[in-house]
Amino acid sequence: MTIDDAPREALRGGPRELLRWVATGAAVSRADLSRLSGLSPSTVSQRVEALINQGLLEETGAGRSRGGRRPRQLAVPTGGAVVGAIDLGAHHARVGTLDLSGRVVQARTLPVRIEDGPEQVLGSLLAEVAALVGAAAPVSSDGASAATGGEAAGALRGLGIGIPGPVQHATGRIVSPSRMPGWNGFDVAAFCAGRVDVPIIVDNDANLMALGAHRTAHSELDHAVYIKAGTGIGSGVISSGRLHRGAQGSAGDISHCRVVADPAPPCSCGNAGCLEAVASGAALVTALREQGVTVSDLTGVIRLIDDGDRHATALARQAGRAIGEILAVVVNFFNPQVVAIGGRLADCEPLLASMRATLYERCLPLATQTLLIERVATSQDVGITGAAHLVIDHVVAAN
């Protein structure tokens, strides 16, 4: 084992991992957990008992007998306890409840006017979470896992919130967001804590996407970078299997890295030629309008690209190159196993193709030899899934 492997190794068989093995169906008994973790049966039993006492695991009667006493099966409760999640975007929010394994119970998309300010926007989204929790009656998902029928419907265990702007991790405050007038300095966690009495975790939307995508598709890979390219642009970094936030929470924020662009368009931050001013969805809308093309929003831009419009396609290629240039620096520096792009621009083929080409052109061969470059599996629930995992990790770690 190298020194680099040590942090990941230390997690092996930790409560979080035991919970995840049961949640994913990899383990249904203490014996399975012992085999997967390499831990002694008594250590596994101790940890399982603790998880059961916290309501994070339950026993569901007898498994199949192999001659001796029938073993009790373990399951993640599907009936009562849920985690609330809000993935706030510039124009829409995805709101959901998820079970303690990170599976979506209910979710819906709501239109949002971010300029209405934090109290109004968050107030109505919290009301939506409460409505979903109230509606989350215990359900026996497939009959196989017994629902905890006696439990009150939808016991909320925590709330995870993704914000489309920089979030100071220690405090949950929003710091200088570029397209969120009235939100600067707002303490999201404190505002929500005054309304729901559960642990609340606030992070930026790119981090939530990174965590959701990593846990869903690539949890076996230790080093990954996820780009979120939508109205804005950002990234989330997974290092040694964990979300890497840096000292303040701004790790992965590539929006104001400078790219080669002539002329360099002005950016909302006061500089010019930032990635966000060249390659974000908002930048594409602005650039097309300046070329005299009538387009109202990012949906319109994507439609033009899909229709093969030459102005829109050229801009998408330029955006892909710009993202590729910044990513090449990141890949050379960080040496990830996978780079995945998500967000609404990820479906733009010309953008993806030029991003990929630039990456191969600018990266060290050793860095790209086995590098996976792909799309984040298109799911509108990836953000709320990441939010739920943040909360679940927090709840498990706190006990």
Which has the closest alpha carbon to 121: 85, 92, 84? 92
Told to check if 275 binds Zn ion by CB under 5 A, we report: no
Neighbours of 45 (CB within 10 A): 14
> What are the tokens at 121?
């926007």
Site membership for Zn ion, residue 329 (CB under 5 A): no
- Stretch near Zn ion under the rule CB under 5 A, chosen from 128-136, 212-220, 250-258, 357-365: 250-258
CB of 232 vs Zn ion, minimal distance in Å: 11
Contact 190, 118 (CB under 8 A): no
**Shortest distance, position 344 Cβ to Zn ion, whole Å:** 20
Are 172 and 188 spatial neighbours (Cβ–Cβ below 8 Å)?
yes
The nearest distance, CB 264 to Zn ion, in angstroms, is 10
| Residue among 76, 267, 278, 341 that touches Zn ion (CB under 5 A) | 267
Q: What is the smallest separation between the CB atom of 277 and Zn ion, expressed in angstroms?
A: 6
**CA 101, CA 76: separation in Å to the nearest integer?**
6
Q: Interhelix angle for 310-334 vs 298-306, to 10°?
A: 100
Q: Is 274 in the site for Zn ion (CB under 5 A)?
A: yes
Please give the biggest Cα pair distance in the chain.
Answer: 78
Contact partners, residue 213, CB within 8 Å, separation at least 6: 226, 340, 342, 376, 377, 382, 386
Task: Select the span of 15-23, 111-119, 122-130, 262-270 touching Zn ion (CB under 5 A).
Answer: 262-270
Give the nearer residue to Zn ion in terms of CB position, either 276 or 381: 276
242 binds Zn ion (CB under 5 A): no
Q: Please identify, among the stretches 6-14, 19-27, 210-218, 254-262, the one whose residues bind Zn ion according to the rule CB under 5 A.
A: 254-262
State the number of binding residues for Zn ion (CB under 5 A): 5
Which of the ranges 58-66, 103-111, 159-167, 263-271 carries the binding residues for Zn ion, by CB under 5 A?
A: 263-271
**Which residue lies nearer to Zn ion by CB, 264 or 373?**
264
Q: Tokens 């559960």 belong to which residue?
A: 198
- Site for Zn ion (CB under 5 A): which residue of 31, 269, 364, 366? 269
Residue placing its CB nearer to Zn ion in the complex, 326 or 340: 326
Cβ–Cβ contacts within 10 Å for residue 379, how many? 15
Query: What is the phi/psi pair of residue 384, to 5°?
Result: -70, -30
Nearest to 326 by CA among 377, 268, 246, 253: 253
Other beta carbons within 10 Å of 113: 10
Kindly state whether residue 256 participates in binding Zn ion, applying the rule CB under 5 A: yes
Piece of the chain touching Zn ion by CB under 5 A; list 8-16, 19-27, 102-110, 272-280: 272-280
Chain residues binding Zn ion by CB under 5 A are 256, 267, 269, 271, 274
